[in-house]
Amino acid sequence: MHPVLLEIGSFKIYSYGFFIAVGYVSALLLGRFLAKSKNRDPSPFMDIAFIAIVSGVIGSRVLYVMTEPSKFIAYPLEIFDVWNGGLVFYGGLLLAGATSLAYGAWKKIPLVEGADIVLTGVAFAHAFGRIGCLAAGCCHGSACRYPWGILNNTPFVDPALRGQPLHPVQLYESISLFALSGMMTWLIYKSRARNGISTAVYLLGYSSIRFFLENFRGDSERGFVLDGALSTSQVISIVLFMLGLLILPFAFRRKDL
């Protein structure tokens, strides 16, 4: 693992923070491109993308802190050390969704068209973020018996797994998210799919990716329900998948929602 990307004296650039920043800028550029491709003024879409990304980081951190309360009660200032890793994506998605909907309603931005563009950017940014997770060593995989298993001895790894090759589940998810954002971009830019289809594809696609990849995660602090039968993220994935199924038929029937 390479948690520190660059170090010059006391100055450090952390890999996690670097890739979060790259994802953020990339998402804004992609959102601007997609808005222009639909002959829309990109400014309001950029505003909502900015709000979504900032609130997403806050929500992700808040949910992570909630999973490790004793740690942050002892060291409260570490709550702000987001560059070292420690974001739970679904927390960010929920808060970003709420704030984006509120801002979009206030500015009268077309709801579903805005969601199509913003969620495409979210998927793209998330793909970079998972590379940051891999470099930092957080959100790690379970034991892997295949040749591509990686060693991860960072403090994020459960003690029982240290010294064992682990699934590079962060990379699995990053590749899947690049593919998902590519599909969504194609739907908006090339196929001119009806508004809402990209949103449905995101909900169906990401929830499926996350539900499946949770089986290869090895970090126990992410939380479980039903006596460990499902992780918290798998439960949220089921809800989002059902929401995607509800949106899809409406998207095919009309051009706006």
Other C-beta atoms lying within 10 Å of the C-beta of residue 113 = 24
Q: Which of 12, 214, 28, 46 is nearest to 124 (CA)?
A: 28
Q: Which of 212, 56, 203 is nearest to 116 (CA)?
A: 203
The angle subtended at Cα 99 by Cα 17 and Cα 202, nearest 5°, is 70
CB 144 within 8 Å of CB 170: no
Q: Which of 167, 168, 180 is nearest to 125 (CA)?
A: 180
Name the most confidently modeled range: 107-116, 119-128, 171-180, 247-256.
171-180
The alpha carbon dihedral of 87, 88, 90, 95 has a sign of negative
pLDDT of residue 84: 56
CB 254 within 8 Å of CB 235: no
Residue range 165-179: mean pLDDT, rounded = 97
Residue range 207-215: mean pLDDT, rounded = 96
Q: Which of 133, 151, 135 is nearest to 143 (CA)?
A: 151
pLDDT of residue 141: 93
Other C-beta atoms lying within 10 Å of the C-beta of residue 191 = 11
Higher pLDDT, 124 or 64: 124
Q: Predicted confidence band at 83 (pLDDT cuts at 50, 70, 90)?
A: low
What share of the chain in percent tops pLDDT 70? 88
pLDDT of residue 257: 44
| Structure-block tokens of residue 169 | 């589940």
| Structure-block tokens of residue 245 | 């199924």
Residue range 63-89: mean pLDDT, rounded = 67
Per-residue three-class SS string for the chain: CCCEEEEECCEEEEHHHHHHHHHHHHHHHHHHHHHHHCCCCHHHHHHHHHHHHHHHHHHHHHHHHHHCHHHHHHCHHHHHCHHHCCCCHHHHHHHHHHHHHHHHHHHCCCHHHHHHHHHHHHHHHHHHHHHHHHHHCCCCECECCCCCCEECCCCCCCHHHCCCEECCHHHHHHHHHHHHHHHHHHHHHCCCCCCCHHHHHHHHHHHHHHHHHHHHECCHHHCEECCCCEEHHHHHHHHHHHHHHHHHHHHHHCCCC
Cα–Cα distance measured from residue 20 to residue 18, given in angstroms and rounded to the nearest whole number: 5
What share of the chain in percent tops pLDDT 90? 38
Q: Which of 170, 176, 50 is nearest to 123 (CA)?
A: 176
| Structure-block tokens of residue 27 | 């998402």
| Structure-block tokens of residue 138 | 């957080």
Q: Predicted confidence band at 144 (pLDDT cuts at 50, 70, 90)?
A: very high
Q: Which of 49-53, 124-128, 131-135, 181-185 has the lowest mean pLDDT?
A: 49-53
pLDDT of 238 strictly over 60: yes
pLDDT of residue 223: 66
pLDDT of residue 221: 67
pLDDT of 86 strictly over 80: no
Cα–Cα distance measured from residue 77 to residue 110, given in angstroms and rounded to the nearest whole number: 39
